[in-house]
Structure 1
């Protein structure tokens, strides 16, 4: 492992402002992962299903109804644009996950390339991405539970108990409930959580294929004319909103310390999961728009179920089966993304940037128990109190910043550590990762001013936490040599 000034893993710490740019050495990050107290139980299949579970369902089941009015039939193109943006970043994630197989995901990659302050910003963005997206999907889960109750027994939960204050209610109790239920599963251990996720992924893939088969029976090609009724700007706005639906493909990169063969399996799992998810998203979007005119998507909740009600009738069994699949699908997303959030905080805690409580692992289950309970409690409160639209947009901006930093990390590590083993290499680098940066910037400027204001507030809070805690408790700060004071009377 490289040393700077005789101190392992420390970079530029002695210069003015050097504490902000000090870097973790790649070798130090790999060594931390190798010595991890977490248990290695996941193979390629489980890692791939972890990423599919974290991704598939979020946009299709929850956000599609809000994105279609922005783009019209061009929402199909929006999915492709968002998927292409995600693909460039997925290639970069694949290279870095095979190179640095830890739990920190893009936070750790940034720490090795851009320094501690930028790593903190990235980690803070990941807390926004993972934590807020769990809350957003939990809100969507509550919507589908209501839809299922309406279809089966003809009743729904009152708004006061199933909607946040901004949507006319008091508390979204179903959204908070599913977060707490996922917490109970996660506390049992990674192996048990992976088994539950495998079953749920199978159910939601079958549910989406069933939706396509039924919706295509009511397909009308005229619903796609004109393809761009709201122009290219509408398509871009739709892509920015739908980027939320690709969040999660990087979940496998947070399982680096629980993978049996991380260098081989992490890159494969990331790319394979993204390809599967993109193909299903485009297929479902074409089926949905073909079955129901885009103007009718305005204000719809439980969107796919409503498409089936419109196309095959409310008395049919198909909307009921689809709603069951949606409830299972969104449960899987909540479980797996919640898992990723906890592992990222675990890595940040091990580096000293957040309190050590988040890195304590229970000896019997191999789970960071306190971390799991604290994170889940925070997300449950968020899900109960904040509307879906605000959550989805806030998640997208945090994700795009993190992805942009991952693409930059690939370029920098190719120059700084060309000799470090890589089990996967991004093709046509540096062109490909720089295109990834460009796509992320393009999507960022498609988000509204309210989202940027909220993100600015989140970043201000994050920087305050870093300046008051992280910079002083950083592991790199503790390992720096302290200046020697001169003994009294040394000159006489």
Structure 2
């Protein structure tokens, strides 16, 4: 007997599940892979090869960290800041290996969020996605503020004048009304992304070439002033200073995972994503360590100040002319704009994946006729532009590192879980010495998290509480898995 379907009939009732079952329901890897090819509302277009994916990761990573954070870390670690970069880089390496294995199996836009959904269940996936919202969203705003500072610095170097505080500071800060340059760079990135992912990828590639050239220029000039005496004492504040600086410098590595958010737009994601992630991390780490070594060798560590102008100041001291500082400032403006573009791109793709799963409103997964999530880009860019323009970020910006470390820790756990639960899955790249290496990845993330201040932990805790309230009040009941049978879960 064929069951008749009545127009306007109520939707079938959702299966009855306990709260525990709802919190731990998972999406099979096969389903995530299938959705990456033809999800609801159409699919993102596969246009990027290995070079473009690598440039995305470098573009998201090589920027504010080396231009700004180095000046904060040297007074804490002294010449041993090079060792701090190595510690932060090793932590990033463990997570990069984990990302490489998972990205080769699950080429989805959600990055760590999708990996957590496939292995540890919906609640953990939500927490991971919520952390990534903090990491990507706030870091874009923070980077945009840094871009505005370099624009002002460039104007001072070239013209001797600067923008008024009313247009460069948030309300209540030194006579500020709105940080216009910070909002402008977000809007420019938004326009580029709306133009299409292929065009944005080529624009980012050009900017990456420029900023790598600027870093090479700095090393070549500053290396002529390196003195052995500037490295003594090597560790003036002990290992505690090195660890604290390493936690701060981890901000410099945020972004290498950006290629994983392009999983649904890569031509051959299983092959190219692992290669792009590892290649970008190797290139960025080499540049960071070389720049740090030359910087502390060219200028006594006690002369470093907590300012974004440390590297530019070294060039002025070494050459005796501000010309190279101007060139460096131009490169910094380009470099930081590249970070804004790529990190904003990554955030839109994570929101796209979460929206497709029903955990946030469906408008974020709507695609236009060209396969571009235009509404997603507009809404997110508007929110971040406002945040960058009117909110003093303070400790909220520091929380980007702790949110990233938490998400990276979950990615390492996901490798261990998936190795045990699904050993049958084909892995184009395998994390060596697992489960030892992912376990070390978790421990190294925890080590750097524990090196952070109380204020950062308080901010992170408040953000997590808000996220849990949103999940239990909205997302859990609207999940696409809510009305599906138990067989949809692994």
Question: Which bin holds the TM-score, normalised by the shorter protein?
Answer: over 0.9
In the alignment, which of 447, 459, 463 is matched to residue 464 of structure 2? Answer: 459
Whether contact under 8 Å (2:262, 2:349) holds in the other structure is: yes
In the alignment, which of 407, 413, 430 is matched to residue 435 of structure 2? Answer: 430
Quote how far apart the aligned CAs of 1:295 are: 2.1
Q: Secondary structure at the match of 1:17?
A: helix
Aligned-partner Cα distance in 1 for 2:157–2:345: 32
Aligned-partner Cα distance in 2 for 1:293–1:381: 39
Give the CA RMSD over aligned residues.
1.5
Whether contact under 8 Å (1:140, 1:388) holds in the other structure is: no
- The answer for the alignment partner of 2:80 in structure 1 is 74
In the alignment, which of 101, 108, 124 is matched to residue 130 of structure 2? Answer: 124
In the alignment, which of 258, 262, 269 is matched to residue 251 of structure 1? Answer: 258
Alignment of 1:171-320 (within 5 A): 171-313=178-320, 315-320=321-326
- The answer for the alignment partner of 1:488 in structure 2 is none
Aligned-partner Cα distance in 1 for 2:392–2:319: 30
Aligned-partner Cα distance in 1 for 2:184–2:62: 21
Whether contact under 8 Å (2:243, 2:448) holds in the other structure is: yes
Alignment of 1:38-53 (within 5 A): 38-53=44-59
Quote how far apart the aligned CAs of 1:189 are: 0.7
What runs of 5+ residues in structure 2 fail to find an aligned partner? Answer: 1-14
Alignment of 1:147-186 (within 5 A): 147-165=153-171, 167-168=173-174, 169-186=176-193
Whether contact under 8 Å (1:97, 1:253) holds in the other structure is: yes
Match status 1:143 vs 2:140: no
Q: Secondary structure at the match of 1:361?
A: coil
TM superposition score normalised by structure 1: 0.93
Q: 1:299/1:386 Cα in 2 relative to 1: closer, same or farther (>3 Å)? A: farther
Whether contact under 8 Å (1:139, 1:388) holds in the other structure is: no
Quote how far apart the aligned CAs of 1:438 are: 0.4
Match status 1:470 vs 2:475: yes
What runs of 5+ residues in structure 1 fail to find an aligned partner? Answer: 1-11, 482-492
Whether contact under 8 Å (1:51, 1:270) holds in the other structure is: yes
In the alignment, which of 327, 339, 344 is matched to residue 345 of structure 2? Answer: 339
Q: Is the deviation greater in 60-69 or in 411-420?
A: 60-69
Aligned-partner Cα distance in 1 for 2:30–2:135: 27
Whether contact under 8 Å (1:54, 1:251) holds in the other structure is: yes
Match status 1:325 vs 2:331: yes
Whether contact under 8 Å (1:140, 1:302) holds in the other structure is: no
Q: 1:167/1:108 Cα in 2 relative to 1: closer, same or farther (>3 Å)? A: same
CA displacement, residues 167-190 of structure 1 (integer Å, 9 cap, x when unaligned):
533322111110111000000111
- The answer for the alignment partner of 1:31 in structure 2 is 34
Aligned-partner Cα distance in 2 for 1:293–1:387: 32
- The answer for the alignment partner of 1:17 in structure 2 is 20
Q: Is the deviation greater in 317-326 or in 57-66?
A: 57-66
TM superposition score normalised by structure 2: 0.93
Q: 1:77/1:392 Cα in 2 relative to 1: closer, same or farther (>3 Å)? A: farther
Aligned-partner Cα distance in 1 for 2:290–2:400: 24
Quote how far apart the aligned CAs of 1:123 are: 0.1
Quote how far apart the aligned CAs of 1:397 are: 0.5
Quote how far apart the aligned CAs of 1:230 are: 1.3
Aligned-partner Cα distance in 2 for 1:340–1:412: 25
- The answer for the alignment partner of 2:108 in structure 1 is 102
Match status 1:408 vs 2:407: no
In the alignment, which of 356, 376, 400 is matched to residue 362 of structure 2? Answer: 356
Aligned-partner Cα distance in 2 for 1:231–1:385: 39
Whether contact under 8 Å (1:135, 1:391) holds in the other structure is: no
Q: Secondary structure at the match of 1:476?
A: coil
In the alignment, which of 420, 431, 449 is matched to residue 425 of structure 2? Answer: 420
CA displacement, residues 386-427 of structure 1 (integer Å, 9 cap, x when unaligned):
446534411100000000000000000001111011110000
Quote how far apart the aligned CAs of 1:373 are: 0.9
Quote how far apart the aligned CAs of 1:147 are: 1.4
Whether contact under 8 Å (1:13, 1:22) holds in the other structure is: no
Whether contact under 8 Å (2:72, 2:306) holds in the other structure is: yes
CA displacement, residues 103-143 of structure 1 (integer Å, 9 cap, x when unaligned):
00000000011110110000000001111111111111111
Quote how far apart the aligned CAs of 1:34 are: 1.6
Q: Secondary structure at the match of 1:112?
A: helix
- The answer for the alignment partner of 2:450 in structure 1 is 445
**Aligned residue pairs, count:** 468
